[in-house]
Structure 1
């Protein structure tokens, strides 16, 4: 099974984000941010700003809650941060496991990728596979990957050879494989802790990305198995 087959095979499941706030402004921003995902956003008015919060809910009630200021940072694009920085909205993203997204652009893909990269950095060991489609995109992320390579992570980067790049301590796989050129992935095997397994996988279609992120161990393993050039990649 290839990477694109995995994207096609993930079942879309609608989830609901309830925004408790005095006005609909934040709910509207959250709705716009998640418009490309199978996520329903509802506004629940509250009179007291101290009661403002964002909750992910299912049929049984609230699953997780996040501070409204953190969610504001996420949907406004201010969420880029250094590795290891605590981000209160992470619990929301983790619970959106295997919720499909569509129409992501490069900026949104880089933001989503940082969640998986940050988890790998915090563990500091294991194998991280990253496919940016083209090495020119990896070139824009080399400062971050230099930090990742300073840990005990075994980092492998894949991309079409459209630029000369410094490996910055990673193993670079220059390849014109259609699976690499047409998909974007970041997959972490969890290192010593299988519960830390996570992956982001998307297929580019007409200049936009369709895919999902997951913390499901079996799905992450499938992504690892589908990455081309496995025979030439050492085991961490």
Structure 2
């Protein structure tokens, strides 16, 4: 039980540390032009696409059949569409004071929900990794922490510029990372029992992130600045994501 607790605490620490650092950076960055915001969102979309293509899907395919992966991806997409609809309705009724910045604020909230979902299977991976060896678990935890930093920025920037207070921004950023600790707890328990469950969780996260990239980040980025900057940000994020997934 002590080992499970240790794994959970390590997952919680690494899961919240990266996103919190990114959230703080997103808050203190003073340059708030549409071009800059577009770059940040497109950078995040490229990073997430790399994680989907070179991390989540390959890892899931290595331990499950293609049918289970497609099922998980579809459930992830459908779940995020549902979350998007709920958030949109809530904003339409209760967030009128943010009328001019609704799209940015909604994007930030949707990204935070998606990343919270995405962080759960990451936690599963950390927990399972620690079950295999301390070296593997620690390596996964550090890699996840590093790529959570720009994800924290991608959450904080649209929230802050959408009118949300700094305290609430940090709260949501930290909250999205807590699920890593929860995932690490379950990963430590089921890591050696059911690889299929982990594969479905990874593909679910891939589907959720795919919707975030296609339905939120890229459209909002192009809306803010319809120039080369968004394309450049997307490509830079994608390339950095390739390196991050190989750490």
Q: TM-score range by the shorter chain?
A: under 0.3
What is the TM-score of this pair, normalised by structure 1? 0.27
**Structure with higher RCO (Cα < 8 A, 6+ apart):** 2
Q: TM-score, normalised by structure 2?
A: 0.26
- Which has the greater radius of gyration? 1
